[in-house]
A and B are shown apart, each in its own frame.
Chain A
Amino acid sequence: MNNFCINLARSIDDPDRATVAMVVANASVASGKNTMVFLTSEGVRLAVKGVADTIKEEGLQPMTDLVKNYLAAGGIIFVCTPCYKKRGYTEVDLIDGATLVGAVKLVEFMTNDATGVSY
């Protein structure tokens, strides 16, 4: 099983949990897994330019580094489109490397011999 999904519904509302989720995502992509972070609900704010810079949990890597390293290593970030738009964001606000998608992309990934965790 080489597909690994991290479903993340937290960001600035729970920076500790959000950071740990991205730590796991980095470990997964570093271990050769085809890794996808699915940002949903409040998690979508991580895909907004500048938001990751505000999350720096003591004892953990800064969120900016985690996102940057994850993308550089080939990790995928999918962003729930309705969750993103209902918070007033547009494509102009989206960080490079993230993709707005519908829930069907999560279903497609998970039904292709995947496993995962949810935060």
Chain B
Amino acid sequence: MTIFDASIHADSILDLGEKNCSQLVIEVMLAMKHMDQGQTLLVKAYDSSAPIDLVAWCSMTGNTLAKRLPDSSGNQFLLRKGQ
């Protein structure tokens, strides 16, 4: 994966391609399941609904969408694990 902003640190990376809807959030959930509070997950997602869905998912799960990094092929989202 190409990270748009090299200054961004991510503890883990998840490339979801064009996955969407429940498949997107369940893979994010599984990826964050074993991470520690405060750690970050860089998610790359091409689907146009991903930004809206990830904001909603974060608001329900206590995680934070720390940064959105648009790139030429999709979008990258830096999520920070909450409690």
- A binding-site residues for B, Cβ under 8 Å: 23-27, 29-33, 61, 66, 69, 73
- Of the listed stretches B24-32, B37-45, B69-77, name the one at the interface; the rest are far from the partner chain: B24-32
C-alpha spacing A69/B27, complex, angstroms: 9
C-alpha spacing A24/B21, complex, angstroms: 8
**B61 smallest CB distance to A (angstroms):** 5
Q: Known contacts A26-B26, A69-B26, A73-B26; is A31 also within 8 Å of B21 by CB?
A: no
Closest B residue, CB atoms, query A31: B60
**B78 smallest CB distance to A (angstroms):** 19
Q: Does B23 contact A (CB under 8 A)?
A: yes
Q: Known contacts A73-B29, A73-B30; is A32 also within 8 Å of B23 by CB?
A: no
Q: Which of B42-75 contact A (CB under 8 A)?
A: 56-57, 60-62
The contact of A24 among B22, B23, B62, by CB within 8 Å, is B22
B61 pairs with A32, CB closer than 8 A: yes
Point out the residues of chain B lying under 8 angstroms from A32, CB to CB. 29, 60-62
